[in-house]
Structure 1
Amino acid sequence: MKKVVVTFAVLVLLITYFNGEVKSENKKIDYRVIKYAFPIGTKIERIDVIPLNVKETHVFNKKSISFIADNMREKKLYMEYEIPEKWYEYSIGVGMDKGERCIFLTLYLYNIISSSDKFYEASDFDIKIDYSLPEKTFASAYDFLIISPDAWVSELSLLKEHKESKGIKTIVVGLSEIYTHPSAVHGRDDAEKVKYFIKNAIEEWGIKYVMLVGGRAFGYQEKWIMPVRYTNLDDRSGWETSYLSDLYFADIYKYENGSIAFEDWDSNGNGIYAEWKGMKRDNLDLYPDVYVGRLACRNKYELKIMIDKIINYENKPFENFKKFILVGGDSYDDNHKYIEGELATWEAYKYMQDFEAIKLWASEIDLSSKNIVNAINEGAGFAYFCGHGNPMSWSTHKPGNFNEWEEGLQIFDMPFLRNGYELPIVVIGGCHNSQFNVSIFYSFDKEKVWKGENAPECWSWWFTRKINGGAIATIGNTGLGYHGSEDENKDGIPDYLQVLDGWLEINFFRIYKEGVDILGMLHSQTIKEFIDYFPGDSNMPLKYIIDVKVVQEWLLLGDPTLKIGGYRE
């Protein structure tokens, strides 16, 4: 920027700059994203952006980028980037940035616009922002809120004691207390009552971390031990128009009419949450305001397993933590002949070079369940699977062999994981591996069998709750996963690495190496930086439907306060 002017001589917490481009057949359209982070409660009073040295320029054409769903049934889709009609747009959001609650002001500046069939170009911009700072901040009585069914509250006392021994002020609250709390009167259903309670816990106690304990109840009919929220976003894939999103429970606030307000994910008030179907769209804040993880336990036995794993992981750091398992192959049959899964896992490893790379690549070995299980059983700090999935399995292809699938890792391989407490954090690139609403009772439903939804438990949760091994946590998609295809922006870098899930998965490891070593903060910070990086508009911080979907469905199954690698003396 040539000049940034603010009218108060106070410190703005953070200013970050991102640059990008959308190429046409004649010339590139540059856009600049400028992010300002102010203390929570700041009032943004006026924004002025003046384009400089404006002149008429050449004609442009629209440009599309392609992407493919990772659901083992490839279908190329397109998002079209349009030439803007305004020099700038902005959005104001509320969220967390590395433990600090902030108001985010994001400016989207475009060097070229269209107007009345003509095109104009600006060389730079003058920016002026007027704002006033808040007079009070939130309390800090507790750090960590655990929400549990009443019958499991006493079981969590051991975990509470452990967390407090590490300096994390913890409170466990049962669902009946939440449903009878004064804040519950605002909730239209159980999920919204839980969300209102989280809001109250932020304002009364200063909560920063929330763990939801409970998944789906046993049986054919869908009932929940712990409430969930389904979105109503139709990406026109023909596969799904709804999927689970725990981001709902993290995105507590929005900025509205000059102040922060409750974010109900129903901006049009029609009772349909997180709606995006055709022209009907709820405008959402999307920024996490608390760091949320879920233990999708279906019974008390699974809860005991997870409590034991978390305590031992944090108390007993292990030498094999410095191993990073990379699992990938050839994801797409594209013109560039990229071996996408191998490229993505290696790109992630570039941020982790003090770790030993354990390469399980389809170009080098068979990705059999035996080879994958053996690698995990040696212990590791991280594992990154990048390929294709469904709730029951993960797989990919050998280079160029798209008629056959590698054996990969199936849910019925999970019992053979015997890595004790040497447990990796597992990031999964693929569709539906974390779709935790599955049921073995769906085995008589042909469509659900075809989609792999007749599993006793989903791939990610089975991996996480495995006794005497498995993972300490998993991060993956509850719905269709998406990666870029080809090199549509002609920069010599596969789009697979630069957009959608590829960006999320790879930058998770970058942010870890930048020093964010608490799992929930790392997960949410990755979502926050994705929102910062990709285009938004005056209605939402993300303007493209698939960008919104990938952050909504990226689920953490695990303890959000987990100290990655454990507490070392």
Structure 2
Amino acid sequence: YEGRDKPEQIKYFIKDAIETYDVTYVLLVGGLKNQFFARPKDDANQGSKDWYVPVRYTNLYDKPKFPLKSDDDIFDPGSISDLYYADIYDGEGNFSSWDPNNDGVFAAWGKEGVKDDLDIDMVPDVYVGRLACRSIKEVKTVVNKIITYETTNVGQSDWFNRVTVFSGDGFLDQQDLNFQWDTTGLKNSPYTIYAQSFNKEGEKSTIDTIPILIDRSQKTSISFKHNDHVNPGVSDGYPAPPVAEIVTISPGDVLGFNDLTYTPGENEAYCNNFNPWANISYENGVLTIRGKTYDPKPYGNLSDIHVWIKDNDGLVIFSEWRNDTEMYYEGEWVTGEKTLYGRGGALSYMPETFEREILWASNGRLTGLQDVLQEWKRGSGFVFLSGHGSPNTWGDHFPGVPGNRQHASFTGLSVIRLKRPLMPIDSLSNGEKLPITVIGGCHNSQFNVSMITSVLDILPYYFTFLPERHMWTYGVAVPECFSWRLVRSPRGGSIATIGNTGLGYGMPGKDLTTGGGDGWISIEFFRQYGSENETVLGAAHSQAITSYIQTHDMSDFEAGHAKTVQQWVLLGDPSLMIGGY
């Protein structure tokens, strides 16, 4: 077949098959040729030489508005897109090359010095899935799993009629409390700042107590404090009482003769660059008191906080409230049963006949690996993990991201680690009780990794003159990506996975179900199955993509809509009848 490279030749073959044989489903069988070392890319457009079935890379250099907006450029220099093989025709019925300006750079957007490819409709014309197999053994394993699944009437099994969700708190979407304490005219003396939070059921937090000193003969000394992970209220686990935490001044700090401002980075105050909630400010005698208030339990999205200040004689000299302060545990809402601004979470669209198993950080059922292994063993028709990821791991945060990410993160499941079990994902032992697994997280389905290239990924962090490899494995020797490892597992895992080959965009705060990105399209898959009765896997996957395109402004580059659909890959048989025949 004609074509400028192998991916384009394959695409012309698919076009011919559609027009000659009226094919509906296309199954690509083959990934990288080796799990120890294989080159993921030949050039910016393709991976072919070390691939059994080549891949198309986009040239979309994403710089989203959120949640990754920061002084640092965090982006994928293009990502794998099997949607390229599904979008055969443009809006006028002509062949869709994904290079409409014919400059030889495919699916370009935001790449410096390259004209954007704006006229790509991205609507699937055929249902495409991939078995990213690296050996004949893997092919046999996965094909046998598919045959068994479709021929043993699994849809009538108790385990199939169960949907299991795993999630936590995706982003620290704290509102800016912005208490303004004017110290002008106050005498030099010790003072004490207090903060206490309340939920709508009347439960209250422990009181955060911060003794400070006003002394205008001294230089101002204010330090950032983010240590709600040691709050007594959450020490016994979740669900927990409300939490109040002042972060912009610490015990023993001094308000002196000079102004002071400080903007904490993401390693101190997660998402502060997106939604400033933690900036220190003492200017012209006014101290801005900022911090956190939240209710760490399922759907605990509203809390009230009271801040008051006493002088050295015990008199209250300042007292203010912030009521109905919002904080959302994004992944839990995305996976859950409730509706927010007219759009429900995934469980809200599933048939009532399905049993719901909800493992969330906020209900105390999701704390780490053992919780995932034990629940997965029971079997489910569907599994939905919504959180954060890499080619190696999936995990999330505890509610409110206490103490920032370094203290609040947990790992739910990983491909490989440096303790037993060495390969936790291979410990899944659900046998033939195989779910369709939707994975919300960055790079979990980035199926271009191999062990040596994964290790080499760490070098540019230490030797900055080296080019970044963008493997997102941080030096860990990952043999195969998270999503594919689930499918190729001979002891269980999944019958198919759907996830992101690149950075997956979640929406912080109240826009989590309506704003688009990874959460929206993942929910839409469950809506297509549960409400629209799309019972063939490839149809449910493709219709979710089509619905996303019809709902969102695909020309909004910074919103990440184009990338959301381009990178959302099905690793499995697109003709699979969900629940079998």
What TM-score do you get using the length of structure 2 for normalisation? 0.62
Deviations 1:138-185 (A, max 9, x none): xxxxxxxxxxxxxxxxxxxxxxxxxxxxxxxxxxxxxxxxxxxxxx1x
Structure 1 residue 451: deviation in Å? 3.8
Q: Which residue type is aligned with residue 334 of structure 1?
A: D
Contact 1:244 1:435 in 2 (8 A): yes
Aligned with 2:347 (options 333, 346, 349): 349
* Cα gap change, 1:544 to 1:397, in 2 (>3 Å): closer
Structure 1 residue 450: deviation in Å? 5.1
Structure 1 residue 366: deviation in Å? 3.7
Who is 1:321 aligned against?
160
Contact 1:423 1:469 in 2 (8 A): yes
Q: Distance in 1 between matches of 2:477 and 2:513?
A: 30
Aligned with 1:271 (options 101, 104, 108): 104
Structure 1 residue 337: deviation in Å? 1.7
Contact 1:497 1:506 in 2 (8 A): no
* Cα gap change, 1:464 to 1:379, in 2 (>3 Å): same
Aligned with 1:255 (options 91, 114, 121): 91
Contact 2:60 2:110 in 1 (8 A): yes
Contact 1:438 1:453 in 2 (8 A): no
Q: Which residue type is aligned with residue 280 of structure 1?
A: K
Structure 1 residue 439: deviation in Å? 0.8
Deviations 1:60-92 (A, max 9, x none): xxxxxxxxxxxxxxxxxxxxxxxxxxxxxxxxx
Say if 2:580 is the partner of 1:566: yes
* Cα gap change, 1:303 to 1:522, in 2 (>3 Å): same
Structure 1 residue 277: deviation in Å? 1.8
Say if 2:567 is the partner of 1:553: yes
Secondary structure of 2:94's aligned partner = strand
Who is 2:277 aligned against?
none
Deviates more, 1:527-536 or 1:375-384: 527-536
Matches within 5 A, 1:54-453: 184=1, 186-218=2-34, 219-222=37-40, 223-236=50-63, 237-256=73-92, 260-277=93-110, 280-282=115-117, 283-316=119-152, 317=154, 318-335=157-174, 336-346=326-336, 347-352=345-350, 353-363=352-362, 364-400=364-400, 401=402, 402=404, 403-411=407-415, 412-442=423-453, 443-446=455-458, 447=460, 448=471, 451=474
Q: Distance in 2 between matches of 1:214 and 1:524?
A: 21
Secondary structure of 2:425's aligned partner = helix
Q: Which residue type is aligned with residue 411 of structure 2?
A: E
Q: Larger relative contact order (C-alpha < 8 A, sep ≥ 6)?
A: 2
Who is 1:6 aligned against?
none
Who is 1:146 aligned against?
none
Contact 1:323 1:355 in 2 (8 A): yes
Who is 1:469 aligned against?
492
Contact 1:392 1:452 in 2 (8 A): no
Contact 1:420 1:469 in 2 (8 A): yes
Who is 1:169 aligned against?
none
Say if 2:541 is the partner of 1:523: yes
Q: Which runs of 4+ in 1 moved over 4 A?
A: 447-450, 542-545
Deviations 1:493-522 (A, max 9, x none): x43554211110111111101210000010
* Cα gap change, 1:207 to 1:225, in 2 (>3 Å): same
Contact 1:344 1:386 in 2 (8 A): yes
Q: Which residue type is aligned with residue 416 of structure 1?
A: S
Q: Distance in 1 between matches of 2:476 and 2:27?
A: 25
Q: Distance in 1 between matches of 2:24 and 2:102?
A: 28
Q: Which residue type is aligned with residue 354 of structure 1?
A: T
Contact 2:334 2:512 in 1 (8 A): no
Contact 1:483 1:496 in 2 (8 A): no
Q: Distance in 2 between matches of 1:366 and 1:265?
A: 42
Contact 1:390 1:451 in 2 (8 A): no
Q: Which residue type is aligned with residue 53 of structure 2?
A: M
Q: Distance in 2 between matches of 1:216 and 1:503?
A: 30
Structure 1 residue 449: deviation in Å? 6.7
Q: Which residue type is aligned with residue 129 of structure 2?
A: G
Contact 2:395 2:410 in 1 (8 A): yes
Q: Which residue type is aligned with residue 413 of structure 1?
A: P
Secondary structure of 1:273's aligned partner = coil
* Cα gap change, 1:466 to 1:197, in 2 (>3 Å): same
Deviations 1:427-447 (A, max 9, x none): 011000000000101224415
Q: Which residue type is aligned with residue 350 of structure 1?
A: S
Secondary structure of 1:350's aligned partner = helix
Q: Distance in 2 between matches of 1:343 and 1:449?
A: 27
Structure 1 residue 452: deviation in Å? 6.1
Deviations 1:373-392 (A, max 9, x none): 11111010000000000000
Who is 1:180 aligned against?
none
* Cα gap change, 1:506 to 1:313, in 2 (>3 Å): same
Q: Which structure 2 segments of 5+ residues have no match?
A: 41-49, 64-72, 175-325, 337-344, 416-422, 461-470
Who is 1:98 aligned against?
none
Q: Which structure 1 segments of 5+ residues have no match?
A: 1-183, 488-493
Aligned with 1:508 (options 525, 530, 535): 525
Contact 2:499 2:569 in 1 (8 A): yes
Q: Distance in 1 between matches of 2:84 and 2:39?
A: 23
What TM-score do you get using the length of structure 1 for normalisation? 0.63
How many corresponding residue pairs?
370
Q: Which residue type is aligned with residue 251 of structure 1?
A: D
Q: Which residue type is aligned with residue 132 of structure 2?
A: A
Deviations 1:4-46 (A, max 9, x none): xxxxxxxxxxxxxxxxxxxxxxxxxxxxxxxxxxxxxxxxxxx
* Cα gap change, 1:450 to 1:469, in 2 (>3 Å): closer
More strand by share: 1
Aligned with 1:458 (options 477, 481, 501): 481
Deviations 1:205-230 (A, max 9, x none): 00110000000111243411111000
Structure 1 residue 544: deviation in Å? 5.7
Structure 1 residue 255: deviation in Å? 3.1
* Cα gap change, 1:331 to 1:225, in 2 (>3 Å): same
Structure 1 residue 351: deviation in Å? 1.1
Contact 1:231 1:275 in 2 (8 A): yes
Q: Distance in 2 between matches of 1:399 and 1:495?
A: 15
Q: Which residue type is aligned with residue 482 of structure 2?
A: W
Who is 1:108 aligned against?
none
Deviates more, 1:416-425 or 1:360-369: 360-369
Say if 2:552 is the partner of 1:534: yes
